Amino acid sequence: MLRSDHILATVEMIQKENLDVRAVTMGINLLDCRGGDVRETCRRVEEKIGTVAAHFVTTCDQVSQKYGIPVVNKRISVTPIAFVGAGFDRHGFVELALALDRAATAVGVDILGGFSAQVEKGMTATDREYIASIPEALARTEKICASINIASSQKGINMDALALIGQTVKDLAEITKEQSGFGAAKFVVFCNQPGDNPFMAGAIHGLEEADLVLNVGVSGPGVIARALERLIHTKGRDNLGLDDIAEEIKQTTFRVTRCGELIGRQVSKEMGIEFGVVDLSLAPTPTVGDSVGEILQILGVDVVGAPGSTAILAMLNDAVKKGGIFASKAVGGLSGAFIPVMEDAVLAEAVGSGALCLEKLEAMTCVCSVGLDMIPVPGSVDADTISAIIADEMALGMINNKTTAVRLIPVPGKEAGELVSFGGLFGASPIMPVRNVGKSRRFIAWGGRIPAPLHSFKN
């Protein structure tokens, strides 16, 4: 029997706290689309996506209407494209990107991810052609996101790929300089990239996955922030400890995750495809009140970046997982609090005031998901320095057996402190200063690999 207080608590969450399902992402295997040449492959890719995802967006909308909970983003992830286009040159990969873009537009999804490769140990000739195609492919498409896995705890870090990627990020920003380097916001570099992540820009349909699968990313941090404010207001700050706060986060996450699971399973049932995982990530949006930074402030630091920020984030991240894992049959993806600077108004503000620096962000990514994300840096920062920043973040993921990622935007023609805005979900932020620019050149010049680390003697 449903109890009135439970009903009202849920109504409060849905109505006042803007509960939504952040992303429903349909994973599609494209390995069976390979044709004899680029043209035939592109045709098959478009045909398959157009067929299997024909009713995806309308089904999401119908389920969303039935349950009265918005599904904010409908997305597609595909098999890392370097596998599909094995043997293609860079022009072939650009053609594939254009085909994917047409397919995504035809079925009406917001974004398509999986223009990707996995090169954590070594690169094939195809992988090099794929990397060379990235700037043009992303500049000429609207809905395509790219990602590359260049490191893992099992294989180490591919430093040859890393060196290429620093330059790729620069080229991406340069080729889209009319849009303040927006191309770089659609490309993310990973260590330990999961194959079932529903969030962009890093969503792929991993090789280990079934033909079709549906993954769900749950609601944002706004719900947690409002729940904490209500708890503090009701109980009084002096009567609460951090364990009470952690408990509230757990319970709220439980309810939020359940809604995501319900919607996801319903969409998957209606479409007759397998339900994959719920990703428990707290993904902020630039909307005021939907910020991970705000939660940190509610929990006791006046500005994000102040001492204590890392500890609070660690507790938040852990409590979210504990609540969510019990709520869902299968959890996967990135599952952690994101701290993407441009997409989180409070983090962007902390960058503007100088409270939050790159090094503190790096420290914070040790205890949360997913890495140095959506950070605009001066366009004058050189490719080797960008590679070295990525190397540091990859090392954190490799040693700590977690996913880390980097999405830097070297904004052409702009310097630290100047504002850059991409609008919509991509947000805005002052450009973050980078210290010690140009001092890592000899390190990046080595190339080769950083060997896989030990998995014992953990200190």
Partner 1 sequence: MGKQMVMSVMSKDRPGIVADITGVIYQLQGDLADLNQSVLCDYFTMILIATFDDSVTPEDVVAGFSHIRSETKLEVVVKEMDTPMEVAKAKRVKETYILTAQGKNKSGLVHRIGLFCYQHGINILDLATTLSGDQYTMILQLDLSRVTSVDTIRTSLTHYAEESGLTVVLQHEDIFKATSEISLF
Point out which residues bind partner 1 (CB under 8 A): 2-4, 6-11, 13-15, 65-69, 254-255, 258-259, 261-262, 265, 329
**Distance in Å, CB of 217 to partner 1, minimum:** 17
Pairing, β 111-118 against β 71-78 = parallel
Q: Output phi, psi for 166, to 5 deg.
A: -55, -45
Among residues 2 and 454, whose Cβ is nearest to partner 1? 2
| Adjacent-strand bridge partners of 378 | 411
Minimum CB separation of residue 15 from partner 1 in Å reads: 6
Which of 81, 172, 167 lies closest to 126 in space, CA to CA? 81
Using CB atoms within 10 Å of the CB of residue 62, give its burial: 0 to 12 exposed, 13 to 18 middle, 19+ buried. Answer: middle
Q: Which is nearer to partner 1, 217 or 410 (CB)?
A: 217
Smallest separation (angstroms) from partner 1 to the CB of 35: 42
Which one, 6 or 441, has the nearer CB to partner 1?
Answer: 6
Burial 246-273 (b: 16+ CB within 10 A, else e): bbbbbbbbbbbbbbbbebbbbbbeebeb
Which residues, 6+ apart, have CB-to-CB distance to 163 below 8 Å?
384, 387, 444, 445, 447
Pairing verdict, β 156-158 and 212-217: unpaired
Residue 14 CA, distance from chain mean position: 24
Q: How many CB atoms lie within 10 A of CB 415?
A: 12
**Closer to partner 1 at the Cβ: 255 or 407?**
255
Residue 57 CB, nearest distance to partner 1 (Å)?
Answer: 17
Take residue 443 and report the two structure tokens written for it.
């390190």
**Rounded to the nearest whole angstrom, what is the least distance from the CB of residue 232 to partner 1 in the complex?**
22
Classify strands 428-430 and 212-217 as parallel, antiparallel or unpaired: unpaired
Q: Which of 105, 175, 114 lies closest to 142, judged by CA?
A: 105
Place of tokens 């630091």: 301
Minimum CB distance to partner 1, residue 284 (Å) = 22
CA distance 51 to 267: 17
Q: Across-strand partners of 275?
A: 214
Smallest distance, Å, CB 247 to partner 1?
Answer: 16
| CB nearer to partner 1: pick between 329 and 442 | 329
**Closer CB to partner 1, residue 9 or residue 357?**
9
Nearer to partner 1, 11 or 242 (CB): 11
Nearer to partner 1, 323 or 412 (CB): 323
Q: Find, among 162, 217, 224, the residue nearest to 194 by Cα.
A: 217
Angle, CA of 136, 343 and 82, to the nearest 5°: 30
User: Minimum Å distance from CB 290 to partner 1?
Assistant: 20
State the minimum distance, in angstroms, from the CB of residue 74 to partner 1: 19
- CA–CA separation, 75 and 336 (whole Å): 20
For partner 1, give the closer residue by CB, 68 or 236.
68
Q: What is the nearest approach in angstroms of partner 1 to the Cβ of residue 253?
A: 11
